[in-house]
Structure 1
Amino acid sequence: MKHPPLVETLIEAFTCLPGVGPRSAQRMAYTLLERGRDDGRALSAALSQAMDGVRQCKRCRNYAEEELCPICQDPRRDPGLVCIVASPADVLAVEQSGEYRGQYFVLMGQLSPLDGIGPRELGLDVLEARLNEGEIQELILATGTTVEGEATAHYVLDLAREAGVNVSRIAQGVPMGGDLEFVDGATLAHALRGRRPFST
């Protein structure tokens, strides 16, 4: 059975979302058309507003509606401490810890030459300029432990060393409440290498 052109266009539009295949997209389209037309209109308006109104913060590259995001505008945040993360979702994860009071630099990805993602696509030229301004005292690397994440971390480390900026890396290893018998060897190796003095 062929869909009317407008329905087909709607289904195809949903498939641009990660993890949404043709069947899931068809189900979403049918749901909105059958009993969610007001929701569909609200979704359409929200998408349109976000696509036109959301940009990248010129300082940290996180999502923002103004030139600077709320974190970069906050005078209580320490501009000398910058956490390097791969995505805005990582910013939210760090913020939920309630432990961090510095600023961020959001890469919006990781180095992946095979996918055409190089230093410029990650804004590393912007980061290099910030490092050379002299305000940043320490970078905290919070990139993943994949091959791409490690390559990105080493590239950032080289930039920071050239600028004379200290670099640390978040500890990685055993999760809270976890038992060692369920932790894989690579994670345990990271935990052992990242050990620190025990204090009460």
Structure 2
Amino acid sequence: MSFSPLIQQLVTALRCLPGVGPKSAQRMAFHLLERDRNAALELSSALRLAAEQVSQCQQCRTLSETDLCQLCASSSRDRSSLCVLESPMDVLAIEHTNSFGGVYFVLGGHLSPIDGVGPDDIGIQQLLERINEGEIKEVILATNPTVEGDATAHYIAEQLKRESLKVTRIAHGVPVGGELEYVDGGTLAHALAGRRLL
């Protein structure tokens, strides 16, 4: 059975969301149309407004509806410490820890030669320009602990070797509450390499 063109268009549009396959998209579409039209209209309005009015912060490149996001505009942030991340979601993750009071820079991805993503395709040049302004004393590379994330961190560290600043990488290792027998070898190797004195 095929759907009417408008229903099919809605189902197809919902499939652009991560983790949403054909069946999930159909369930969402039918739920909105059958049971909650007000929510459908609210969703449509919110999505349109966000798509039209949210862009990148001019300083850190996270998502913001103003030129400077709340974090960059705050006078209480330590501007000498810069945490480099892959995505705006990573900023939220770090902020939820309440353990970092510096500022951020969102690359907008990671290096991936196999996918054709090089240094010019993400925000590395803007990052280097920001660091060259001279206010930053430490750069914390908090890219994801993946092959691409590690390669991105290594590339940035190499670019900053000539700078007189401290470049650090977030630790990798055993998660809190984890049991060693269930942790993969690569994670254990990182944990052992990053051990510290007690």
TM-score after normalising by structure 2: 0.95
Q: Does 1:70 align with 2:70?
A: yes
CA RMSD of aligned residues (A): 1.2
Instruction: Give the Cα–Cα distance (whole angstroms) in 2 for the partners of residues 114 and 20 of structure 1.
Output: 25
Letter in 2 for 1:149: G
CA shift at 1:59, angstroms?
0.9
In 2, the alpha carbon distance for the partners of 1:71 and 1:196 equals: 31
Q: Please show how residues 61-140 of structure 1 align to structure 2 within 5 Å.
A: 61-140=61-140
Task: Give yes or no for the alignment of 1:196 onto 2:196.
Answer: yes
Question: Deviation digits for residues 2-61 of structure 1, max 9, x if unmatched?
Answer: 211111111111111111122211111111110110000000001001001111011111
- How does the TM-score come out when normalised to structure 1? 0.95
CA deviation after TM superposition for structure 1 residue 85, in Å: 1.0
Report the Cα distance in structure 2 between the residues aligned to 1:114 and 1:85, rounded to whole angstroms.
Answer: 21
Identity %: 53
What does residue 178 of structure 1 align with?
Answer: 178
Alpha-carbon separation, structure 1, partners of 2:29 and 2:142: 38
Counterparts of 2:63 and 2:120 in 1: how far apart (Å)? Answer: 18
> Does structure 2 retain, via aligned residues, the 8 Å contact 1:160–1:166?
no
Matched ranges for 1:8-87 at <5 A: 8-87=8-87
Amino acid at match of 1:137: K
Task: Tell me the CA shift for residue 122 of structure 1.
Answer: 1.4
Quote the offset at 1:119 in angstroms. Answer: 1.5
Runs in 1 of length 4+ with deviation above 6 angstroms?
none
Render the CA deviation track for 1:103-147: whole Å, top value 9, x for unaligned.
111112111123232222211110010111111111111112211
* Aligned-partner SS, 2:10: helix
AA at the equivalent of 2:98: G
- CA shift for structure 1 position 193: 1.1
Q: Could you tell me how far apart the structure 1 residues matched to 2:58 and 2:118 are?
A: 19
Opposite residue 123 of structure 2, the aligned amino acid is G
Conservation of the 8 A alpha-carbon contact between 1:131 and 1:165:
no
Give the match's secondary structure for 2:31. Answer: helix
How many residues get paired? 198
In structure 1, distance between residues paired with 2:3 and 2:176: 50
Aligned equivalents of 2:159, 2:33: Cα separation in 1: 52
SS of 1:51's partner is helix
Gaps of 5+ in 2: none
